[in-house]
Amino acid sequence: MSDESKFDYSCLPPNDTTIVSFSGGKDSLATWLEVRDHFERIIPFYLYLIPDLEFIEDNLQYYERRIGCHIIRLPQPKSYDIIDGLLYQPPNEERHALMKSWALPHFDHTDVHKEVCECAGVDWEKTYTAIGLKYADSIQRRTSLAKNGLVTHSRQKYYPIAHYTKDDVLRKIAGAGWKLPSDYGYFKDSFDGLQVRYLLPIKKHFPRDFAKICELFPLVELELYRYERSLR
């Protein structure tokens, strides 16, 4: 990565504070490491699909020790939509009524941004969020970044590692002496859904976490059953 391709921080409004979307994936790690020399205060946040999964908490606590601050945990916008939509729920009217009685709010990433800022005690209108998107992720990502630029002022987001390659990301993490998240040993990326490619390794390697997933979404086991039947 040449100096000419580095992110231009002068494109951001003056501020000694930034937020970092911290999924725990390698791109989010590289993003935190990239911005740390440009801001006095960095506020990382993690959006969970299912709260308190042990393997995720182990990863987050490891990175909290490395960065020396708390990583704010909040639900993903889609997590409440999935629950409210009764996805992977049995046909049980009593259970449905109970879940609907929770009256879970619908919110988007703008609401998340405001909530993170409120948790951290900073002005949400002046604080931007760093996102670990790269040109090299896909043709679609390259096209979008090239068209819309590396700062989205209307949504208060910026993409400081856009010019990184995968090798750049791995060198950045290795140079800091950080390890990759443990789930990279089981998934190709960080946990982000109820697909078979996540559920199978979780059931095998993290049975207590799989039990938590089944408690909230009992019918996810049918995903595994259908997959196993397809292999016969």
Half-sphere exposure of residue 220, counting CA atoms within 13 Å on the CB side? Answer: 22
What is 3-189's CATH topology? Rossmann fold (3.40.50)
Q: Using one digit for the tens of pLDDT, what is the confidence trace for 19-29?
A: 999 998 999 99
Domain ranges within the chain, ordered by starting residue: 3-189
Scanning the structure block, which residue is given the tokens 């003056």? 14
pLDDT in tens, 24-64: 899 999 999 999 999 999 999 999 999 999 999 999 999 99
Mean pLDDT of the chain: 92
Mean pLDDT value across residues 196-218: 94
Instruction: Give the residue carrying structure tokens 């043709």.
Output: 139
What is the residue type of 71?
I
pLDDT at 75 over 70: yes
**pTM for the predicted model, two decimal places:** 0.90
Q: Is the pLDDT confidence value at 196 over 80?
A: yes
Cβ–Cβ < 8 Å for 190, 25? yes
Residue carrying the six token digits 């679609």: 140
Write the pLDDT tens digit of every residue in 85-133: 999 999 999 999 999 899 988 999 999 999 999 999 999 999 999 999 9
Angle (CA) 142 143 145, round 5°: 65
Assigned token pair, 201: 């390794």
Q: How far apart (Å, rounded) are the C-alpha atoms in residues 190 and 184?
A: 7
3-state SS, residue 127: coil
User: How confident is the model at residue 160, as a pLDDT?
Assistant: 97
How many whole angstroms separate alpha carbon 13 and alpha carbon 206? 43
